[in-house]
Amino acid sequence: MLITFEGIDYSGKSTQAKLLVDRLEKHGKEVVFLREPGGTSISEKIRNILLDKKHLELKQITELFLFSAARTQLVNEVILPALQAGKVVVCDRFYDSTTAYQGYGRGINLNDIQAINRIATSGTKPRMTFFIDIEIDEIFRRQIAAGLSADRMESSGRDFFERVRNGYWRLAEMESDRFIIVSGKLPADEIHREIWDIVKKQII
């Protein structure tokens, strides 16, 4: 089973993905935990290019293909073998991020992105996708509170993140069979309980 976590930056999706992995392992499940872009040697090198603020000249289509290249490597090297072995795969971001960020955010043709996503993943689709939703103001509040500087993607501006968030909502509406919307404003333990109540019905 493939379970993915989606949301704008600082939504808390990475925290929730890790909490779910820990809970599944406590119940004896064999889990592979991954993040995108990354997860393989090649994918991590691509990640460094994508997030480095020195690469501001990176073109939007180049960005799209780099994310997709990292994903192709991850799917074929790690995700598909893990699924075939009966393991649970939990992924912090997957192809919905490309649709939301490069499609709705950057304005690249959505039909083109859909085709690229299908090729990059060999048609692999998550069973469940948790969309951890927060308002845009919360991004900047959490970033300041954490004392972190923005990477290249995080430096894209408020309007960009508004489009990305709206894109996630559109995706959740169009694929309500697998998308579960969770408020990221709740305390982390409450969010985890809500997610676990849904996942355990499918796995435990």
Query: What is the amino acid identity at position 87?
Result: K
* Count of Cβ atoms closer than 10 Å to residue 19 Cβ: 18
Average pLDDT in the 193-203 region? Answer: 95
Note the pLDDT tens digit of each residue in 92-142: 999 999 999 999 999 999 999 999 999 999 999 999 999 999 999 998 898
- Write out pLDDT tens, residues 19-34: 999 999 999 999 999 9
Domain around 137: 2-203
148 forms beta bridges with none
Which element (helix H / strand E) includes 118? helix 110-120
pLDDT at 81: 98
Cα separation, 37 vs 73, in Å, equals 10
Q: Give the per-residue pLDDT at 105.
A: 95
- What is the total count of domains within the chain? 1
Q: What is the CATH number of the domain that holds 65?
A: 3.40.50.300
- Other Cβ atoms within 10 Å of 97 Cβ, number: 28
| Type of residue at 86 | G
pLDDT digits (tens, 9 = 90+) for 33-47: 999 999 999 999 999
Which pLDDT band holds residue 167 (cuts at 50, 70, 90)?
very high
Q: Which pair of structure tokens corresponds to residue 129?
A: 């996708």
